[in-house]
Amino acid sequence: MAILDTVSSDLREAMRGGEKQRVGALRLVLSELQRAAKEGNDDELAVLKRERKRRQEAARAYREGGREDLAAGEEYEAELIASYLPAELTDEELRGIVQRAVRDSGAESVKDMGRAMGAAMAAVAGRAEGGRVSGLVRAELGG
């Protein structure tokens, strides 16, 4: 089942259950997924990651501005969006993937980082942020 279908189904359930905050958050997510599909972007995971990041940044900004109530709402939405994303890789799993990617790509130094990163990111398939992967690849290459 596509993420769009899952979100639609969850939205209907939340509406039946009278969960106002959840309904609002799911409507926003559904709207973004539909807009991306209409524009020809079929990468639902990228849309969800982008929206989660927006919510996290907004929560941080609200918290810095002393608006805990708004920050809590944004964090709730970020957590809801994260529930539709694949589980993040543990550090140990990610380290193993990076080691294999470096070995398989033939990368030997930091100059070969692009080649190793390409292989690692393909293997990670969106289950870890690029910054985490980059740090481990750099460490593996001795940089």
What pLDDT digit, counting tens, does each position of 101-114 carry? 888 888 788 888 88
| Average pLDDT over every residue of 97-124 | 85
User: Residue 81 pLDDT more than 90?
Assistant: yes
Structural domains in the chain plus CATH codes:
3-82 (1.10.1510.10), 91-140 (1.10.10.410)
Q: Which amino acid is at 34?
A: Q
* Torsion on CA atoms 14, 18, 20, 24, rounded to nearest 10: 30
Supply the pTM of this predicted model. Answer: 0.71
DSSP 111: G
Given this model, what pLDDT does residue 1 score? 58
CA–CA dist 113, 123 (Å, integer):
15
| Average pLDDT over every residue of 85-90 | 84
Percentage with pLDDT > 70 across the chain:
99
Q: How far apart are the first and last CA of the chain?
A: 42
CA distances in angstroms from 65 to 60, 75, 117, 132, listed in the order given: 9, 15, 37, 29
CA distances in angstroms from 29 to 26, 57, 59, 65, 131, listed in the order given: 5, 16, 17, 25, 25
| Average pLDDT over every residue of 18-43 | 90
